[in-house]
Amino acid sequence: MQTIISPLVSHRLCLAPAVPRYRLPNIYHRAPPSIRLSNHRSTTSPCLFSSAAASRDSEMATEDVQDPRIAKIASSIRVIPDFPKPGIMFQDITTLLLDTEAFKDTIALFVDRYKDKGISVVAGVEARGFIFGPPIALAIGAKFVPMRKPKKLPGKVISEEYSLEYGTDTIEMHVGAVEPGERAIIIDDLIATGGTLAAAIRLLERVGVKIVECACVIELPELKGKEKLGETPLFVLVSSAA
Amino acid sequence: MFAVENGLQGDPRLKAISDAIRVIPHFPKTGIMFQDITTLLLDPVAFKHVVDIFVDRYEHMNISLVAGVEARGFIFGPPIALAIGAKFIPLRKPGKLPGKVISEEYELEYGRDRLEMSVEAVKSDERALVIDDLVATGGTLSASISLLERAGAEVVECACVVGLPKFKGQCKLKGKPLYVLVEPSQFDELTTL
């Protein structure tokens, strides 16, 4: 299957030969390199090329120097074509969870970024946000707040509706879980259209919480999810062509 | 088996854990005193106690995989897996896991449900732990044990934060031992939040 490259980055082709391999960042120009996931699970490292769109719109976990942990994390993610329906290239993080080093590194990258920043709330979106959020919360000494589908939380909740391609969905949080003035990060495994994260932001802002950042393992930049997050910054580890 | 029966009698962490769990009466239906662990997650010290007690127990048992039951098992399983250097495997409701899966049906009070596991995630002879927040009938945990055994793993133990008192002593689920931190908390009318 073809890897779809957006027009914005098509001129910045990977300089690697036909077999994609990891490249050192110093051959690229100013924009920090991002990792593009190969569209099948391969044992070779993913093709590395710079993405002006990604560097402008979301912060990659690669500042001036490529963190060596990122390539391993990216290559541990499996892509499943046509799941849950035809045309969708599903980014499967369960294979990352089977790679103990990659999972540890994923958490470490987020913890390094968010410790000592006065963050008292880590909000995780059901269900894969529940996998990444708690280890981060425990490491930085913050509360973990699950944000759930309707009717799962037993106590009094506040809800926020958001649009789907067809219809709407709702995300809920317990009343009293957070207090006005707290500083939060919101975690999910992946940002696609940004609808869920935008709803999570609105829910927390309604109760006076300041969202410092949204953090995801994977971004699908062509879906422009970042644009839905308003002023809230987005931090991702890897970027994938949809 | 409860933690107090196995060396942790008088351990103040258990009281802290129990006190942090909120009881919601009549959820999801009349008569059920729901053990709400979300308040435990709001207490970073108590949450860490849970993880520490499980990690102390399992870190030298040569466990290579921790299976967590959707969705609250996803909260407790990964921190334990990370600390003991094991893989984490999510056991999920039908249709959520991509790739090749096996599924196991189990009884609910009314009707049946199904749990799925990625069959490629497990190698033969792996030593596994199953984690969930609470054990009531044992139906979900039994289905989890079946899935792992069908894939060739050896289930060493099932571990839960909360368990009904009937799981005291050498109680086993499908022949496997069960380890529980606390009994259900009592409803306190004065609890706000």
| pLDDT score, position A55 | 39
Mutual angle of helices A100-114 and A129-140, in 10-degree steps: 50
Could you tell me if A95 and A41 are in contact, meaning their C-beta atoms sit under 8 angstroms apart? Answer: yes
pLDDT tens for A188-212 read: 999 999 999 999 999 999 999 999 9
pLDDT band at A20 (very low <50, low <70, confident <90, very high): very low
Please give the pLDDT value at position A129: 98
Tell whether the torsion through CA atoms of A145, A208, A54 and A221 is positive or negative: positive
Contact with chain A for residue B34, Cβ under 8 A: yes
B51 touches chain A (CB under 8 A): yes
Q: Residue B52's closest chain A neighbor by CA?
A: A138
Please give the positions of A annotated as active site.
128, 165
Q: Domain containing B42 — which CATH number?
A: 3.40.50.2020
| Residue pLDDT tens, chain B, 193 long | 999 999 999 999 999 999 999 999 999 999 999 999 999 999 999 999 999 999 999 999 999 999 999 999 999 999 999 999 999 999 999 999 999 999 999 988 778 999 999 999 999 889 999 999 999 999 999 999 999 999 999 999 999 999 999 999 988 999 999 999 999 998 877 655 4
Q: For residue B80, what is the enclosing H or E element?
A: helix B73-84
- Considering only CB atoms, which chain B residues are within 8 Å of A99? 87
Three-state DSSP at B103 gives: strand
Amino acid in position B30: T
DSSP secondary structure code for residue A76 in this structure = T
Nearest chain A residue to B74, by CA:
A131
Asked if B96 and A127 come within 8 Å (Cβ–Cβ), the reply is yes
What is the value of pTM for the model shown?
Answer: 0.86
Q: In the predicted model, is pLDDT for residue A233 greater than 90?
A: yes
**Buried residues in A158-171 as b, exposed as e (16+ CB within 10 A):** eebebeeeeeeeeb
Question: How close is the nearest chain B Cα to the Cα of A187, in Å?
Answer: 13
- E strand or H helix at A122: strand A121-125
Structure-token match 């699908």, residue found? A220
Write out chain B residues lying below 8 Å of A85, CB-based.
none
Distance, in Å, from the CA atom of A185 to the CA atom of A145, rounded to the nearest integer, reads 10
CA dist., res. B25 & res. B62, Å (int): 40
Q: What total of structural domains would you count in chain B?
A: 1
Lowest mean pLDDT among A22-36, A85-99, B77-91, B146-160: A22-36
Any domain includes B34:
yes
Domains defined along chain A, listed by start: 118-239 (3.40.50.2020)
ipTM of the complex model: 0.96
CA A44 – CA A111 distance, rounded (Å):
28
d(CA B108, CA A199) in angstroms, rounded, equals 33
> Residue B175 is part of which domain span?
3-179
Q: Residue A2 above 60 pLDDT?
A: no
